[in-house]
């Protein structure tokens, strides 16, 4: 049921696990990217417990002073958001946010580089390089994923199958959208601010509903999904959605009910994130505690970060690398 810049830093735990699986499929090949680790005999990281030097983790998290890592990967781990540099293979964390983080699930970074965290009953927003939320949104429906449109409206997909909409700079919902499901999971926007919501029914089966800007009612797109989770769109309008029941990421071209590509993503896959440049894609796996990377269009997934901690949401800051 669980499952996008210079920011300074965060503390967490790093241990060892295995990398995820390979890809199936029909249409995608890619050129080599410098950020993708070598597939030849990837070294298995040794178990390491990381703490803030000398005194341990601070009550509000920790920041690694003087760090300018460029692009970042944020990872939701229960009551903290761990921050990793995107560069390199299996990097160490450079900080963690804990203030306001409670049962963290989906993460989102807006164009202003603010980080949004979906917690158990709130959504907290953090300016780049800070440990304390600058805004706290209330959501008693228990948000799972969150996204923000170009006009500044925030949307949260909730455990009860609804979507909470927040007017710009307002901390309480002004509108509730209803999906056909008992749980609303992955949520995202296309370049025209159409909203897409993955949902599931009591059996775990579901689909995706599309809401046009300012619409109160959506249109079900009709694909059949087994326990849908994270959702992403590319600039061509293709929908990338996790099916955690089948352990895959499906890629649906616009207005198609069958995927053009099915990517094997491994046990426990929850979230898919695509870089703004659309060169690489990432998936998070809570069962293996891994972040895995592939070129986009997808090829073979390789281990990027072995976190050693439970992973739900994930987001990228999309800085230059």
Which CATH number fits the domain that encloses residue 139? Answer: 2.120.10.30
In a domain, residue 55? The reply is no
In a domain, residue 287? The reply is yes
Q: How far lies 158's CA from each of 121, 144, 163, 253, in Å?
A: 10, 5, 6, 26
Given this model, what pLDDT does residue 57 score? 54
Report pLDDT digits (tens) over 116-135. 999 999 999 999 989 999 99
HEC string of the chain? Answer: CCCCCCCCCECCCECCCCCCCCCCCCCCCCCCCCCCCCCCCCCCCCCECCCCCCCCCCCCEEECCCCCCCCEEEEEEECEEEEEECCCCCCCCCEEECCCCCCECCEEECCCCCEEEECCCEEEEECCCCCCCCEEEECCCCEEEEEECCCCCEEEEECCCEEEEECCCCCCCCEEEECCCCEEEEEEECCCCCEEEEEECCCCEEEEEEECCCCCCCEECCCCEECEEEEEECCCCCEEEEECCCCEEEEECCCCCCCCEEEECCCCEEEEEECCCCCEEEEEECCCCEEEEEECCCCCCEEEEECCCCCCCEEECCCCC
In a domain, residue 36? The reply is no
Residues 19, 290 contacting (CB under 8 angstroms) = yes
- Compute CA 300 distance to the chain's CA centroid, rounded to the nearest angstrom: 20
In which domain, by residue range, is 84 found?
A: 61-316
Given this model, what pLDDT does residue 311 score? 86
Residues contacting 238, CB < 8 A, separation 6+: 251, 252, 253, 254, 260
Nearest C-alpha neighbor of 274 from the set 266, 284, 289? 284
Given this model, what pLDDT does residue 214 score? 93
Given this model, what pLDDT does residue 67 score? 63
In a domain, residue 189? The reply is yes
In a domain, residue 43? The reply is no
In a domain, residue 143? The reply is yes
- Report, as an integer, the average pLDDT of 82-93: 93
In a domain, residue 199? The reply is yes
Given this model, what pLDDT does residue 250 score? 97
Q: Over the Cα atoms of the chain, what is R_g?
A: 18
Given this model, what pLDDT does residue 312 score? 85
| Number of domains comprising the chain | 1
- Report, as an integer, the average pLDDT of 57-77: 81
- Cα separation of 68 and 59, whole Å? 23
Would you place residue 19 in the very low, low, confident or very high pLDDT band (cuts 50, 70, 90)? very low
pLDDT at 199 over 90: yes
- Model-wide pTM > 0.85: no
Q: How far lies 197's CA from each of 66, 112, 230, 258, in Å?
A: 39, 23, 9, 17
In a domain, residue 254? The reply is yes
């Amino acid at each position: 049921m669980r499952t996008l810049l210079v920011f300074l830093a965060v503390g967490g735990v790093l241990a060892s696990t295995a990398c995820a699986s390979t890809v199936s499929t029909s249409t995608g090949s890619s050129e080599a990217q410098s950020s993708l680790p070598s597939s030849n005999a990837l070294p298995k990281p040794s178990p390491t417990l990381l703490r803030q030097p000398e005194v341990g983790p601070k009550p509000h998290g920790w920041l690694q002073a003087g760090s300018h890592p460029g692009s970042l990967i944020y990872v939701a781990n229960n009551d903290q958001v761990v921050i990793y540099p995107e560069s390199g293979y299996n990097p160490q964390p450079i900080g963690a946010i804990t203030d306001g983080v409670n049962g963290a699930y989906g993460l989102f970074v807006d164009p202003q580089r603010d980080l949004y965290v979906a917690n158990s009953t709130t959504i907290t927003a953090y300016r780049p390089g800070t440990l304390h939320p600058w805004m706290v949104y209330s959501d008693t429906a228990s948000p799972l994923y969150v996204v923000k449109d170009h006009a500044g409206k925030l949307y949260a997909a909730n455990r009860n199958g609804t979507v909470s909409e927040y007017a710009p700079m307002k901390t309480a919902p002004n509108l509730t959208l209803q999906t056909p499901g008992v749980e609303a999971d992955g949520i995202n926007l296309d370049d025209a601010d159409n909203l897409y919501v993955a949902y599931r029914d009591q059996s775990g089966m579901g689909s995706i509903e599309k809401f046009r800007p300012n619409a109160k009612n959506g249109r079900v797109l009709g694909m059949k999904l087994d326990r849908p989770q994270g959702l992403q769109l590319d600039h061509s309008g293709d929908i990338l959605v996790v099916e955690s029941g089948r352990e895959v990421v499906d890629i649906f071209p616009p207005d198609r009910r069958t995927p053009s590509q099915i990517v094997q993503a491994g046990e426990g896959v929850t979230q898919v994130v695509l870089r703004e440049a659309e060169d690489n894609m990432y998936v998070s796996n809570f069962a293996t505690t891994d972040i895995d990377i592939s070129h986009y269009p997808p090829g073979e997934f390789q281990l990027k970060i072995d976190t050693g901690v439970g992973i739900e949401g994930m987001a990228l800051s999309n800085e230059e690398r």
